[in-house]
Amino acid sequence: MTARASALARMAGAHRLLVAVDFDGTLSPLENEPMAARMLPAARDAVTALTALPRTWVALVSGRSMSDLRVIAEHRDGSPILLAGSHGAEYWTPDDGAVEPDEDPADIVLRDRLRAAAQEATRHLPGVFIEPKTFGFGVHTRRASAADARTADDAVDALVAAGAPHWRRRTGHNIVEYAFRDEGKDTAVRHLRDLTGADTVLFAGDDLTDEDALRSLPAGDVGVHVGVGQATAATVVVPDIPAFAAFLDELVTLRAAAAQ
């Protein structure tokens, strides 16, 4: 039996299954304008079908701020889909709504000061965009030249190293993120597992920031990497978003049959 077939069979027969999925690059194509991201129709249909299965929970786990994640996911208050934003520092559940940690006002002041400094330092670089985040900010360089991207990253690295050397730095597809909180997507998966009481977890992602969660999965869980050409801790690799949507569709069919 292939790794894919074994993973699907294990999830189909799980008593309580959590399907935790990254958003950008996993359900939605990467966009030059971050707020333009939306799930591919096939991915949305698969996610919706999963939420209708018994003893099955679906969660979106993203580095996006909660407010932005709800916009791009077109997530409404009546949705059964759980959310983990800011790499697991923010949550949304149907019962409690948004749950955010209390922050030291000094952290917010420092965040705003460094974010403004980063915007000023990169203002002259075409294609560079500073994305506000709840606990920091991101430097997007997808639309910039390679030289301007390096200049932007070096300039903001220096600013953060001087002003907030304790902040966490993450790299992703044409983005560097800085945050004064240390949570990773492994944190989010642990919390969501406890919240749902899941005995089996599927986590899927496409980027370096998803590897924290993939490496944290114990035997019996399933890790899926979406995309090719990157080393990954995932046990299953699919080439793109449509292939991942097909993987989820197959899971829906098998789990629905097992429940009968």
For 134-166, how does the pLDDT look when each residue is reduced to its tens digit (9 = 90+)? 999 999 999 999 999 999 999 999 999 999 999
Domain end point (choices 151, 179, 207): 179
Q: What is the mean pLDDT of residues 200-228?
A: 96
CA–CA gap between residue 84 and residue 209 (Å, rounded): 14
- With beta carbons less than 8 A apart as the criterion, state whether 134 and 66 touch: yes
CATH classification at residue 189: 3.40.50.1000
Q: What is the mean pLDDT of residues 162-187?
A: 95
Range of the domain at 156: 105-179
Q: What is the mean pLDDT of residues 181-197?
A: 96
22 included as an active-site residue: yes
- Helix and strand numbers, DSSP H then E, in the chain: 8, 12
Q: Which of 256, 27, 15, 33 is nearest to 143 (CA)?
A: 33
Place of tokens 């699907």: 8
- Please tell me whether residues 112 and 97 are part of one structural domain: no
Which residue out of 22, 186, 207, 221 is catalytically annotated? Answer: 22
User: Percent of the chain having pLDDT more than 70?
Assistant: 100
- Please tell me whether residues 59 and 160 are part of one structural domain: no
Domain end point (choices 133, 160, 179): 179
- Please tell me whether residues 94 and 192 are part of one structural domain: yes
Six-digit token pair at 251? 């899971």
- Please tell me whether residues 21 and 97 are part of one structural domain: yes
For 51-105, how does the pLDDT look when each residue is reduced to its tens digit (9 = 90+)? 999 999 999 999 999 999 999 999 999 999 999 999 999 999 999 999 888 889 9
- Please tell me whether residues 97 and 19 are part of one structural domain: yes
CA–CA gap between residue 248 and residue 208 (Å, rounded): 22
Residue 107, CA distances (Å) to 87, 99, 164, 177 in order:
17, 19, 10, 16
- Look at residue 1 and tell me whether its pLDDT is greater than 80: no
Domain end point (choices 149, 179, 209): 179
> What is the pTM (predicted TM-score) of this model?
0.91
